[in-house]
Amino acid sequence: MSEGAPIPGIVITGASGRMGQMLVKHVAASPKARLVGALVREGHPWIGQDAGTVTGGAALGIAVTDDPLEAFAKAQAVIDFTSPAASVEFAALAAQARAVHVIGTTGFAPVDLERIRAAARHAVIVRAGNMSLGVNLLAQLARKVAAALDDDWDIEIVEAHHRMKVDAPSGTALMLGTAAAAGRGVELEAHRARGREGVTGPRRRGDIGFAVVRGGDVVGEHDVIFAADGERIVLRHLATDRAIFARGALRAALWGQDRKPGEYDMIDVLGL
């Protein structure tokens, strides 16, 4: 954001969710942004109540709403950690309002990504399976390590999340797999091993494998393993606080204010 620019107004979608509640608090506490809206699903019991008090803090003078059109009209940015169906709809509405759309949601199908790409013709969209500085740095490291090693080194990605997570593998695991594939100069989809069970036969040379753990309240853990005969490299990121994602998302919303329409990611935002 350029010096002297007005402080951007930000709407949080999915305000009742784990990330939504964290974002309401984070944006409200930031001197660099103004919280101008908190959106929930139609019919949600929080509608009309103060966004600060329902998320466990002091009153903010912002009534929770279920009307995205009205909310986005007041915003310079929308921060959205919801579901693929909701984010695709919000991408079109945010583009209409010419608001920067920061999408943290994961689990998109290819058809959803096409619709997000279409919206990005008219507005700035920043989308990343993980908004933390640490994971985006890890993705760059995974890319570099993969570029330095040949197919004698098997690449496996192991991720763990809380019991409520609905998509697998995580958006972060896919991001890390994509980065490792890029380092090797291949497409992930052509080399992706999607989980193993039964008599699988030996590992296919050059595959990038994914393994998923779900349980308890794990915020998010990711290992990128490079395994060869006689040695192994493990690159690891452990998230212990969702604030890291909120911090990254707000940074993306501010960064997006001065950009041309298009689809960006956190590597762009962080300049990595």
Ligand X SMILES: NC(=O)C1=CN([C@@H]2O[C@H](COP(=O)(O)OP(=O)(O)OC[C@H]3O[C@@H](n4cnc5c(N)ncnc54)[C@H](OP(=O)(O)O)[C@@H]3O)[C@@H](O)[C@H]2O)C=CC1
Residue 14 known to bind ligand: yes
Nearer to ligand X, 39 or 95 (CB): 39
In the list ligand X, ligand LZUJQKHR, none, the entry touching 209 (Cβ below 5 to 8 angstroms by class) is none
Residue 109 binding target from ligand X, ligand LZUJQKHR, none, CB below 5 to 8 Å by type: none
The reply to whether 65 sits in an annotated binding site is no
| Contact map string, positions 113 to 132, toward ligand LZUJQKHR, x by CB under 6 A | ----------------xx--
- DSSP character string of the chain: --TTPPPPEEEESSTTSHHHHHHHHHHHH-TT-EEEEEB--TT-TTTTSBHHHHTTS---S-B-BS-HHHHHHT-SEEEE-S-HHHHHHHHHHHHHTT-EEEE------HHHHHHHHHHTTTSEEEE-S---HHHHHHHHHHHHHHHHS-TTSEEEEEEEE-TT--SSS-HHHHHHHHHHHHHHTS-HHHHEE----SS--SPPTT-EEEEEEE-TT--EEEEEEEEETTEEEEEEEEE--THHHHHHHHHHHHHGGGPPSEEE-HHHHHT-
Binding-residue pattern over the window 157 to 196 for ligand X, x denoting contact by CB under 6 A: --------------x-------------------------
One of 13, 87, 136, 172 touching ligand LZUJQKHR (CB under 6 A) = 172
Which stretches of the chain bind ligand LZUJQKHR, using CB under 6 A?
A: 106, 129-130, 161, 165, 170-172, 220, 239
Which stretches of the chain bind ligand X, using CB under 6 A?
A: 14, 16-20, 41, 44, 81-83, 85-86, 104-107, 128-131, 171, 245
